[in-house]
Structure 1
Amino acid sequence: MIGAFVTVMLLLIVGMVMYFGSANFLNRSTQFILFFDQSVNGLLVGSPVKFRGVPVGEVKRIMIRAEGQREDSTAIPVVIEINRSRLENDLGVSRTAFAPESIHESLERGLVAQLNLESVITGQLFVEFSFEPAKAFSAETHIDHLNESIDIVEIPTLNSSLDQITADLAQIIADIKDLDLQELSENINTLIISATTQLQGLDTAAISTSITGTADEIQNFIASKQFKQSVDAMRIAFDQVSATARSFNIEEGPLADTIDTWSAQITQTLDSFDRLSNEASALIEPGSDLRHEFESMLRELVRTARSIRLLSEYIERNPNAILTGRSQEE
C-alpha cells in the first residue's frame, strides 16, 4: 500500500510539472535590454513589442538603472521579452532575427528599437523594431551602456520623434492660450455683420428687373423694323458707292485696289454684324440658357444674402458659437 501510494504521488508530481511547465517549455522566449535616452512616459510593463507592426513580445521590466550600467550613462533601461515560439510557429519564421545564434548578425544588419505611440488618446507607447542599415552595429559607432558583460544582449535604440511632437503640441496649446479669443470672436462677428449690411443694401429684385428689362429692350430693338432697315440701308449705300466707283471705270491702279479691299472688308463687317445680332437675340430671349443662368445667379445671390443675415443674427445672440459651434438643442 505504501509503495502504491508513493508511486501515485510521484506520477501526480510529474504530471503537475509537465502540465504547468509545458507552457514555458513550449513557449521559447529570449530577453533583451534596451536603453532609451528619452522619456519613457507611457511605456508600461506588458506594453507590446512589435517588429514592423507585428506583435512579437512584450515589455518585462522598466528600471532606473540596470546592473552593470556605466556611471556616465543616464539612459533608461528596459527589458523586453521576444516570443520566439510565436515567430516560428504562428508567423512562419524558421530562423528569427532574435534567435541567440543570429542576434549578432541582425545587429550587424542594423536591427534597432525605438518608441512609438500606441494610442493618441491614452498616450501609451510600444517598442518598435526595424532594420536600419545606416545604423548598423559597429564597435566604432555603437554606444554601449554596459561596462561589463552580463547575461543579456543589448539592442541599440533610436530616438523617436515623440519628444518633438510633444514639444510642438505644447507650443500650439501655448499659442492658443495667448490668443485673445474674445477679440477674435468680435472681429468675426463684425465682419459678418458688415457683409450682411452690404448685401442687404443691394436691391437684388430691382437689379434683376432692370437687367431683365434691358435684355428685353435689346431683343426688341434687334427684332424691330428700324434695326433691319438700318442694316438694309447700309447695304444699299455700300452698293451705291460700289456702283459709282465702277461708273468711273476705276478698274486698275492703286485706287482700284483700295476700293476692292474696302469692299471686301465692308461686306465682311456687315455679315459679322448680322451674325452678331442673331446670336445676341438668341442669347437674351426669354427661354435662352444665358438668361436662365443669369436669373438663377440672382436667385442664389438673394438666398446667400438671406443666409448671411440669419447667421449674423444668430451670432449676435450667441457670440460663443464662433468657437463652440451650434448647440445640439438648436
Structure 2
Amino acid sequence: MNRQALVGAFVLGGTGLLVAAFVLFGNFHPFARTTKAVLVFHGASSGLAVGSPVTFRGVQVGAVDRVVIEYNPVTKDAYIPVYVTMRPDDIILTNSSHRLPNLEELIRQGLRGEMNLKSFVTGTSEIDLDFSPSTPAVFHPDIAHVTEIPTRQSTIAAMTQSLQDLPLKQIGENADATLASVRQLSDKLDKDLPALIQSIRETSDHSRDMVDATRKAITDFEPAITRTLLSVDRLANAGTSQLDARGRELHAVLQSSNEAVQQATKSLANLENMTSPRSADRTNLEASLRDIAAAASALRGFATDVEHNPQLLLTGRRQ
C-alpha cells in the first residue's frame, strides 16, 4: 500500500512539473486573455508549423495554432490560412488613460502580417506583425471565419518571386549563344592573329626604316638648310636696309610732288582769275588784242596800197 501511494505521489508530482514547465516555457497560458485571428497566405508556407512564434517587431506576442490548406476545385487555387493566438496582455499602453485598441481597430490603423524565415539553419519560419498603412488590406471572407489580419509579401518572398520571374531559360540560351560567338571569335583569332602579327611586325620594321631614312636625310640636309636660312636672313636684312634708304628718297619725291601740286594749284587759280569776266587782266588783254587787230588791219591796208603803188615806199602816202 505504501508503495502504491509512493508511486501515485511520484506520478502526480511529475505531472505537476510537466504542466508547470509547459505553462512557464511553452505557449500554453490557461489564465491569460487571448485573441484568435487568422492570416491567409497565397503561396508556400515552408518552415511554418504549429507553435511557430508570432512576433511584433521582434517581440513574441503569440503563436501559431493551426496551419491548413483551403483548396477551391473550381478555380484550382489554394490558400493557406494560418490560425494564431495572440496575448494582448503583453501590450502595455504608454498612457494608462487610454484603452487598448482591439484587433479590428489595429487592422484599420494598418496592422499587417508577413511570413519570414526565422532561421536559415533549421529552415523554420515565423509570422511577423507590423504597421503598414500603405499596403492595401485584402480580406478573404469565404475562407476566414475569425478576425482576419491582412497579409503582405515579405522581402524574401518578393526576391524569390523576382527570381522565379526571371527568364532563366532565355538567359541560358543567350549565354550559350554568347559563348558560341566567343568561341568562334577565339578560333578566328587563332587563325588570323599570327598573320596579322606578322603584318604588324613587317609594317613596324618598314616604319622604322622610313624613320631612319628620314632622320638621315634631315641630318644630311641640315647644313644646306642652315646656309639657306642664313642667306634668307641676309637677304631680309639687305632688303630692310634698301627699303629704309628708298623710303627716305620716296619721302623726298612725295614732298616735291606735293609742292609741285600746290604750285600748279596756285597757277590754275591765277589763270582762273585772269580768265574771269570781271578780271582787269582779262580787260587789258582784250584791249591789247583789239589794238593788235586794228594795227594788223592798218598794216594790211598799207600792204594793199604798196602792192598797187610801190612808190609809196619811197614817197610815202600823201595826205
Q: TM-score, normalised by structure 1?
A: 0.47
Q: TM-score, normalised by structure 2?
A: 0.48
- Higher RCO, Cα 8 Å, sep 6+: 1
Pick the structure with greater CA Rg. 2
